[in-house]
Amino acid sequence: SHHRVVSTTAVTAAAAKEICETTITDNGKAEVLCTISNEDDRSSLWSDVAIKAAKQFTITQRKKLHDLGALSVERPIKIIGSSVSDTCGLGDCVLTDDDDDNSNAVVDNSEADTKIIHFQRHGQGYHNLICDMWRELERPIDFDSSDPNLNPVVRPEFLDPPLTALGMQQCSSQRDLCASLTPNLVIVSPMLRCIQTAKLSFRDHVNNVPWVSHEGCREELGLLVGNKRRSITDIKADYPEIDFSAIEHDEDILWDQYGDRRETLLEKSERIYEFLTEYVRSRPEKEIAIVCHSAYLFTLLNAVMDIEEEELRSWFLTSEVRSLQMTFVDTE
């Protein structure tokens, strides 16, 4: 195997990176697999178990949204989404230089109510790693349970979890892609994993556009300690360059008020709708990056926006970036 590694690095010495990941084999043994990956081949950044979980969530969560009637809620403002890319690869679906400038891809930006949004899910956090480990061991996770033996994400140690080393590699691998995008504003969830993700992936936009944080794009509230944030005072001390003025409370009052229950999909849909129609729509910027979370994004793309393309609506992988055109239409 040593020989194989040498031959790979010889070819891609400049771009090669070693990516290591631990997997549990069928007989319960833990094995560390390190692959030398070319920057262009990013498939090694996501494990099979993570990709499989995303596919499963796409099916199960859409069924949940459907059964709750969340997919057919009529609201006064219709938010229509469409792809700005002809090609979607693993981990991204964005407008690139290769895409033709055909007029149907992007509506004329002078329209007051159309924006280009680049959505990114955070990279792998420690809570994601633990859940993937449970899945590899075939331990079922009950995200509604407050028992840490059934639901690891309720453990107090998971408060505002950071990115893992793999999560950081995932986000760094998106840097070139994000550098090619042209957002006039970066909006981040106040959760540490999202701030770390944005700082790695959108690093080339740090000093030239405003960065703001907003609770409207946080992950599901309540019960799951992995979705509870630190105080804004603490976060600000680490990230003084981000504007947190849109966040009302220093302590995490939003999460606390749900107590031992999770924010429902319908409640989350309303929070997302409010964020998009009252905050994002009113921002003067025409092109915006929003770095947030998977369950949040799935609800947004399936239950709040009207989107036809399936590749835009499926569950996001960690660090994945998708660009879309967002048009607000007043129906009343």
pLDDT, position 43: 73
The shares of helix, strand and coil residues in the chain, as percent rounded to the nearest 5, are: 40, 20, 45
Spans in the chain with pLDDT lower than 50:
1-15, 99-110
Q: Where are the beta strands (DSSP E) in the chain?
A: 17-24, 30-37, 77-83, 92-93, 114-121, 185-188, 211-213, 287-292, 306-307, 321-330
Residue pLDDT, tens place only, 104-122: 444 444 456 999 999 999 9
Structure-block tokens of residue 214: 């907003």
pLDDT, position 84: 87
- Tell the burial category of 8 from Cβ atoms under 10 Å away from its Cβ (0-12, 13-18, 19+): middle
pLDDT, position 37: 55
For 164, the 3-state DSSP assignment is coil
Cα(124)–Cα(146) distance, rounded to whole angstroms?
23
pLDDT, position 192: 98
Give the Å distances, CA to CA, from 100 to 81, 84, 90, 106, 108.
19, 10, 20, 10, 15
Asked whether the beta carbons of 75 and 327 are under 8 A apart, the reply is no
pLDDT, position 110: 44
pLDDT, position 17: 58
Q: What is the pTM of this model?
A: 0.85
Asked whether the beta carbons of 328 and 277 are under 8 A apart, the reply is yes
Angle at 177 between CA 183 and CA 208, to 5 degrees: 35
pLDDT, position 109: 43
